[in-house]
């Protein structure tokens, strides 16, 4: 399973809160996996330069057609700014037709709690999918 481990991108103040996002994408077909993976790497490069990003990680499970992201941000606006900026904006629009299912969850943690544990992110995603909340 190719993994880009947690990479610290910015140093928050010790008393700061971090806005965390976890996502899961399931690709429709194995033939779509290489494209989705390459575009994910492009979005990853963008994250590493995004203002307000504290850190990020990516897990790709190509044979399961599943991709997971985990990132922490200065605030909700920093995340939305990144999502609206190219190339992320075009990547997500262009990959919609290849995505069978997706899930997102958001929460806040004290900055000293970074990096967020993948087990926690997966638990929250599963709960989000179960409750739809």
Count CB-CB contacts under 10 A for residue 63: 9
* Through-space distance between the first and last CA atoms of the chain, rounded to whole angstroms: 29
**What average pLDDT score do residues 100-108 get?**
96
Distance CA 8, CA 129 (A): 28
Read off the pLDDT band of 131 (50, 70, 90). confident
pLDDT for 14: 83
Count CB-CB contacts under 10 A for residue 25: 21
C-alpha distances (whole Å) from 121 to each of 4, 9, 35, 125 are 15, 19, 25, 6
pLDDT for 133: 60
Question: Quick check: pTM over 0.85?
Answer: yes
Taking a C-beta distance cutoff of 8 angstroms, is the pair 109, 116 a contact?
yes
C-alpha distances (whole Å) from 72 to each of 3, 65, 94 are 17, 24, 24
Residue range 34-84, pLDDT digits in tens: 999 999 989 999 999 999 999 999 999 999 999 999 999 999 999 999 999
Distance CA 14, CA 110 (A): 8
pLDDT: which is higher, 108 or 130: 108
pLDDT for 110: 96
């Amino acid at each position: 399973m190719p993994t880009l481990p947690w990479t610290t991108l910015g140093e928050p103040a010790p008393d700061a809160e971090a806005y965390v996002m976890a996502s899961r994408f399931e690709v429709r077909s194995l033939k779509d996996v290489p494209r989705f993976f390459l575009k994910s790497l492009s979005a990853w490069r963008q994250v590493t330069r995004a203002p307000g990003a504290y850190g990020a990680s990516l897990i790709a499970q190509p044979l399961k057609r599943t991709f997971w992201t985990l990132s922490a941000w200065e605030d909700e606006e920093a995340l939305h700014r990144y999502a609206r900026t190219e190339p992320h904006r075009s990547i997500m629009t262009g990959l919609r037709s290849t995505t069978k299912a997706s899930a997102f969850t958001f929460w806040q943690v004290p900055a000293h709690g970074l990096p967020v544990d993948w087990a926690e992110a997966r638990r929250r995603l599963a709960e989000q999918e179960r409750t739809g909340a």
